[in-house]
Amino acid sequence: AQSVAQPEDQVNVAEGNPLTVKCTYSVSGNPYLFWYVQYPNRGLQFLLKYITGDNLVKGSYGFEAEFNKSQTSFHLKKPSALVSDSALYFCAVRDTNAGKSTFGDGTTLTVKP
Amino acid sequence: DGGITQSPKYLFRKEGQNVTLSCEQNLNHDAMYWYRQDPGQGLRLIYYSQIVNDFQKGDIAEGYSVSREKKESFPLTVTSAQKNPTAFYLCASSITGDRTVSGNTIYFGEGSWLTVV
């Protein structure tokens, strides 16, 4: 079985400060890991993914995420937050042995000016 | 433009009524999915289809039905058996649902709101 956890329902940061949105996962095989962003009343937009290779993955809008196998984590980061980054963020995992992905419950990021 | 189109954006259902949500994609993707989103509960998989004329139940299929007669279309019917259908419904697709293909990114439509009145 596969699972993913986003331990924080809400993350608040000031504009210009670095941000981190946490994600941990559990899989039986090797993980494929994804981050998506959702703005109000919209669908999810793909940000980045980890398949293999370099543990630091760079994605859209200046976001990046670091795969840490020993800690089974895939935290989303950005060096300098923007007010426009305020949204709901989802982490997802797919076990290489699974036919479908599992999504976390989401973390609401609020960036204050 | 390539993408996934869901319609209608807002739909109201009366008690005992079946309603159908449309999902069309022009990405030439083999796999398509339906998710339900409730506040604070993330996304839950209703049904998915890896190829035309084939589909599988997800985690919460009861009270829903689907068809996949064409590659580009995957409509979802919310039946009267679904007792709590009020939610945001998301259709999605990926190049293939084949588990052996690494890192298939799932792409989403803009969603449809269903409300029981």
Separation of alpha carbons A82 and B11, rounded Å:
34
Residues B37 and B89 sit within 8 Å (Cβ to Cβ)? yes
Q: Can you give the pLDDT at residue A71?
A: 96
Which positions of chain A have pLDDT values less than 50? none
Separation of alpha carbons A22 and A43, rounded Å:
21
B114 touches chain A (CB under 8 A): no
Query: pLDDT tens digit string along B3-38?
Result: 999 999 999 988 889 999 999 999 999 999 999 999
Number of Cβ within 10 Å of residue A72's Cβ equals: 17
Q: Which residues in chain B are closer than 8 Å to A97, comparing Cβ atoms?
A: 99
Query: pLDDT tens digit string along B49-66?
Result: 989 999 999 999 999 999
Query: pLDDT tens digit string along B90-117?
Result: 999 998 766 555 557 899 999 999 998 8
Test A44 with B50 for CB contact under 8 angstroms.
no
Q: Is B17 left (phi over 0), alpha (psi -120 to 50) or beta?
A: beta
Query: pLDDT tens digit string along B65-91?
Result: 999 999 999 999 999 888 899 999 999
Separation of alpha carbons B94 and A43, rounded Å:
15
Test B108 with A44 for CB contact under 8 angstroms.
yes
Separation of alpha carbons A20 and A13, rounded Å:
9
Please give, rounded to a whole number of angstroms, the shortest distance from the CA of A9 to a CA of chain B: 8
Test A51 with B102 for CB contact under 8 angstroms.
yes
Closest CA to B23 of B114, B108, B115: B108
Which of B6, B30, B104, B115 to probe the A interface (max A CBs under 10 A)? B104
Please give, rounded to a whole number of angstroms, the shortest distance from the CA of A34 to a CA of chain B: 8
